[in-house]
């Protein structure tokens, strides 16, 4: 008779045994949302707060062993181009909850740009020509980097993760572009957003 923990190993009919699949580090859930791009009017608009991506992924511990879970968030390449005094960009939000549901999210990072080239002087009006651009290649970060530690799931327990990406501005140019707006641009490119969850067993 072989003395093994049946929660840790699988025994085969021929008497051989092997470690159970849940007794190792492994990817347990993943979800991806395709990238998106857009353009805005360079002036005469209002502040922006547009939802571009929402990714939700959940995992239920279907093993007989407690699991520690962590997540990684991968963002494809991104670019923000703004004109004049407009200031804004892509804001990423993360949220995690134990259980199944819709986690509340909190801001994690920003990728944006902005400048101030208003026309000065007594006779100055409108705003001057200025195009600013900020680019970023693909990045991978921890899910909920503001929180320390991994999430402990008992057998049968669940975890839900959510990542939102928005285009948010703190100021949008309302004046006309002095000399015209030919050649100006206010746009964004937001790459794919992927969330991966990983689990490792808790060995007592």
**Is residue 125 over pLDDT 90?**
no
Residue 2 domain-assigned (yes or no): no
Helix/strand/coil for 73: strand
Q: Is residue 90 part of a domain?
A: yes
| Bridge partners for 112 per DSSP | 89
In a domain, 150, yes or no: yes
- Residue 55, domain member (yes or no): yes
- Is 26 a member of any domain? yes
Q: Which domain holds residue 197?
A: 22-201
Query: Would 108 be classed as within a structural domain?
Result: yes
pLDDT digits (tens, 9 = 90+) for 44-92: 778 999 999 999 999 999 999 999 999 999 999 999 999 877 899 999 9
Please count the structural domains in the chain: 1
Report strand pairing: 131-136 vs 78-83: antiparallel
pLDDT in tens, 164-201: 999 999 988 877 777 666 767 889 999 999 999 999 99
């Amino acid at each position: 008779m072989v003395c093994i923990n049946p929660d840790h190993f699988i025994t085969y009919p021929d008497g051989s045994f092997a470690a159970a699949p849940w007794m190792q580090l492994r990817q347990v859930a993943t979800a991806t949302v395709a990238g998106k791009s857009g353009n805005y009017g360079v002036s005469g608009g209002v502040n922006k707060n547009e939802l571009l991506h929402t990714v939700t992924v959940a995992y239920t511990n279907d093993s007989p062993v407690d699991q520690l879970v962590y997540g990684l968030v991968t963002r494809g390449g991104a670019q923000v181009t703004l004109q004049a005094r407009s200031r804004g960009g892509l804001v990423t939000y993360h949220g995690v909850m134990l259980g199944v549901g819709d986690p509340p999210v909190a801001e994690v990072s920003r990728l944006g740009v902005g400048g101030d080239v208003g026309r000065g002087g007594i006779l100055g009006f409108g705003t001057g020509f200025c195009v600013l651009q900020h680019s970023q290649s693909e990045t991978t970060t921890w899910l909920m980097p503001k929180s320390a530690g991994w999430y402990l799931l008992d057998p049968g327990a669940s975890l839900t993760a959510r990542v939102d990406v928005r285009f948010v501005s703190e100021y949008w140019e309302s004046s006309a572009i002095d000399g015209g707006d030919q050649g100006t641009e206010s746009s964004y490119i937001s790459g794919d957003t992927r969330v991966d969850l990983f689990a490792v067993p808790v060995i007592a």
